[in-house]
């Protein structure tokens, strides 16, 4: 057998043309042992990965070649190989998605959510997301949240589950929830806390406006979700540096509505506390030190919130609503579709209200999977 690598490379090329992959494998094994740095050896190795179905390995070698070589003919073949792999992966995804969404219950709308990862893992995670979803690495990196969660996309729940499972299997935290689950989750707007031991009793209102009491044990609470929802007001703004300039209306944040949800998964419901709708003159007194001195709403709320946290101190608290909401508003159709389950005077059109309901509902169903 000749030791001239070019002769062996020609034999490999001929074997590929004849689809004789067994011969190609045998010759390449020799070449790889003797000339592992030869870019043509690497190219044919990538092609073997490709025809063998190891598309991830083929993609990695093709991309490394494109980064490191300057030979025009080899660059062309590496690009063609990478394109073949991408086309094949896309076709495989479409086939798999068509299969998983064929069942009626897998075709209903769903949400795929990405979770934040450590900074040092982001680059590798972006490559994984790029490969699984079929997008470029830069775009993938932008979509991975720095903190909390991000709604990545909407589509048939079967498709969202298909992508979500692949992401999880490759070390990327993600979860998916049907939109119908968010719509059906029962939320009670708490008017006030009437008692807290031996059981808690709240006076609350359901979505139909009916008021009643609900008794529960603190041990039933699985988690607590906090949110600060901005209150926007229209103000007139004039540029005093420009003569004859007209006044312009501009939305500015004037204050924040404070909301806290307690999740009761065994009852499939949420108790929603809100500083603007909670009646601090009824039920348990949350005035600091039970003083008669008039206190502000914020102080009352902080006292109530601290009390709730003390009762469920061993349960997780979700408080990354703001970064989540900033990305959730990129899905206006979803925000308009969902009833926020609570209403504030003059804030009916605010996207932050339904965004909080989505955030809390996602936390509810994420931990019930």
pLDDT digits (tens, 9 = 90+) for 308-363: 999 999 999 999 999 999 999 999 999 999 888 876 655 667 889 999 999 999 99
CA angle, 203 as apex, 355 and 220 as ends, to 5°? 70
CA angle, 283 as apex, 277 and 287 as ends, to 5°? 80
Instruction: Give the pLDDT of residue 6.
Output: 84
Which residue spans of the chain are classified as CATH 1.25.40.10? 5-99
Percentages helix, strand, coil for the chain (3-state, rounded to 5) are: 50, 20, 30
Instruction: Give the pLDDT of residue 293.
Output: 47
Neighbours of 365 (CB within 10 A): 18
SS3 of residue 156 by DSSP: strand
Q: Give dist(CA 317, CA 146) in Å, integer.
A: 18
Paired tokens of 268: 């499939």
Q: Which residue has the higher pLDDT, 248 or 314?
A: 314
pLDDT digits (tens, 9 = 90+) for 166-206: 999 999 999 999 999 999 999 999 999 999 999 999 999 99
Confidence of residue 283 (pLDDT cuts 50, 70, 90): very high
Confidence of residue 296 (pLDDT cuts 50, 70, 90): confident
Paired tokens of 143: 């979509």
Instruction: Give the pLDDT of residue 125.
Output: 94
Instruction: Give the pLDDT of residue 346.
Output: 59
Paired tokens of 361: 């509902």
Cβ atoms 274, 227 nearer than 8 A: no
Instruction: Give the pLDDT of residue 267.
Output: 95
For 66, half-sphere exposure in the C-beta direction (CA atoms, 13 angstrom radius) is 15
Neighbours of 231 (CB within 10 A): 17
Confidence of residue 1 (pLDDT cuts 50, 70, 90): very low
Instruction: Give the pLDDT of residue 18.
Output: 86
Cβ atoms 101, 75 nearer than 8 A: no
Does the domain formed by 5-99 have CATH 1.25.40.10?
yes
Q: What is the average pLDDT value for the chain, to the nearest integer?
A: 88
Which residue spans of the chain are classified as CATH 3.30.1390.10? 104-181
Query: DSSP string covering 180-198, please?
Result: HHHHH-EEEEEEEEEE-SS
Whole-model pTM: value is 0.80
Is the confidence at residue 369, as pLDDT, over 70? no
Q: Give dist(CA 9, CA 28) in Å, integer.
A: 8
In this prediction, residues 224-246 reach a mean pLDDT of 74
Q: Which residue has the higher pLDDT, 34 or 87?
A: 87
Q: Which CATH class is domain 104-181?
A: alpha beta
Q: Which helix (H) or strand (E) holds 226?
A: strand 223-237
Q: Which residue has the higher pLDDT, 253 or 29?
A: 29
Instruction: Give the pLDDT of residue 356.
Output: 95
Confidence of residue 7 (pLDDT cuts 50, 70, 90): confident
């Amino acid at each position: 057998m000749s030791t001239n690598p070019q002769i062996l490379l020609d034999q490999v090329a001929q074997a590929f043309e004849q689809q004789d992959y067994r011969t190609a494998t045998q010759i390449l094994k020799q070449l790889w042992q003797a000339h592992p740095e030869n870019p043509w050896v690497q190219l044919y190795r990538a092609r073997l990965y490709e025809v063998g179905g190891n598309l991830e390995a083929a993609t990695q070698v093709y991309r490394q070649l494109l980064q490191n070589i300057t030979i025009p003919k080899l660059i062309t073949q590496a690009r063609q190989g990478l394109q073949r792999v991408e086309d094949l992966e896309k076709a495989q995804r479409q086939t798999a998605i068509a299969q998983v969404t064929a069942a009626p219950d897998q075709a209903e709308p769903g949400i795929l959510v990405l979770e934040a990862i450590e900074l040092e893992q982001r680059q590798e995670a972006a490559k994984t997301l790029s490969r699984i979803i079929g997008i470029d690495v830069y775009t993938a990196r932008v979509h991975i949240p720095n903190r909390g969660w991000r709604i990545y996309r909407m589509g048939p729940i079967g498709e969202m589950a298909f992508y979500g499972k692949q992401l999880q299997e490759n070390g990327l935290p993600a979860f998916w929830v049907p939109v119908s689950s968010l719509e059906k989750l029962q939320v009670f707007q708490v008017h006030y806390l009437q008692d807290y031991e031996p059981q808690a009793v709240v006076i609350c209102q359901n979505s139909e406006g009916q008021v009643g009491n609900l008794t529960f044990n603190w041990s039933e609470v699985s988690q607590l979700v906090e949110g600060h929802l901005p209150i926007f007001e229209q103000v007139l703004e004039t540029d005093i540096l420009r003569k004859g300039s007209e006044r312009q209306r501009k939305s500015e944040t004037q204050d924040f509505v404070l909301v806290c949800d307690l999740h009761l998964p065994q009852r499939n419901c949420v108790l929603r506390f809100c500083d603007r709708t909670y009646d601090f003159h009824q039920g348990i007194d949350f005035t600091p030190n039970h003083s008669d001195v008039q206190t502000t709403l914020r102080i009352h709320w902080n006292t109530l919130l601290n009390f709730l946290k003390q009762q469920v101190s061993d349960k997780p608290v979700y408080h990354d609503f703001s970064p989540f909401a900033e990305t959730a508003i990129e899905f206006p159709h979803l925000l308009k579709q969902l009833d926020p389950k609570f209403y504030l005077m003059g804030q009916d059109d605010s996207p932050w209200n339904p965004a909080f309901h989505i955030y809390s509902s996602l936390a509810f169903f994420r931990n019930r999977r």
